[in-house]
Amino acid sequence: MTTIAVLGNGRVGGNLATALARAGHDVTVADRTPGAAADAARTARIVINATPGAGSLDRLAALREELRDTILVDVSNATTDGRDGLPADLLYPGSSLAEQLQEALPETGVVKTLNTMLFPVMTSPATLSQAPTAFLSGEDPQAKQTVRELLTDLGWHKEWITDLGGIRTARATEAAILFVPHVIRSTGFTPFAISLAR
C-alpha cells in the first residue's frame, strides 16, 4: 500500500483515485479548496497531477516544499483550448509541461505517463481491442520503477509500458495531444490510446 495524493477531482483525477483505492492504496483527493493540495501533498509518497495542464505549473510550483522528496506523476497536457473546448496548441512548444515541472521542482522526481490516451483507458487498458502503450519519461530511475509498479496496479501489463528515457522525452508524448481533437471530431468520444505496434 502506498500513500497517494491526487491533485484534481475532475474526470481524470476521480477515475485514477477510484482505481488506485480499489487496488489497495491509501488515496486522498485534493479539490480546489484553499490548502487542500498542500495538505494532501505533505503526507503522500506519490502525488498525481490531474489538474488542468494550463494551470498546473503555477499550482504545483507553489507546493515546492510539500513535494520535496516525493514522486510527482504528471498525467496532464498543457494546451490552449479551441473554440469547441478541445485542445488547440501546445502551451510549451519546444519544451513540455513535465520539463517545466521538473525545473520548478528540482527535489521532486517527476514522471510523465498516461497522457497519450483518453481518461477511461488510464485505468482500464484491457478494454481496448488492441494493447495500448503507456510511456514513461523521467530523470529518476527509481521513481520510474515505482510508477511502473503503480501502472501494473491499474491493469497495465509490463509489456505495454515503454520507458522513453529522460524528462525531455515528454515533449514527444505531450505533442501527441494534437491528435486528440481530430480523432474525437472524426469518431466521437470513444476511448482510444496511442499504441506501439511491433
pLDDT in tens, 31-70: 888 899 999 999 999 999 999 999 999 999 999 999 999 9
Residues of the chain predicted below pLDDT 50: none
Amino acid identity at 68: R
Which pLDDT does position 85 carry in this prediction? Answer: 86
CB hemisphere CA count around 81 (13 angstroms): 8
Task: Check residue 1 and give its pLDDT.
Answer: 80
pTM across the whole model: 0.96
Helix axes 97-104, 53-61, angle to 10 degrees: 10
What pLDDT, on the 0 to 100 scale, is given for residue 31?
81
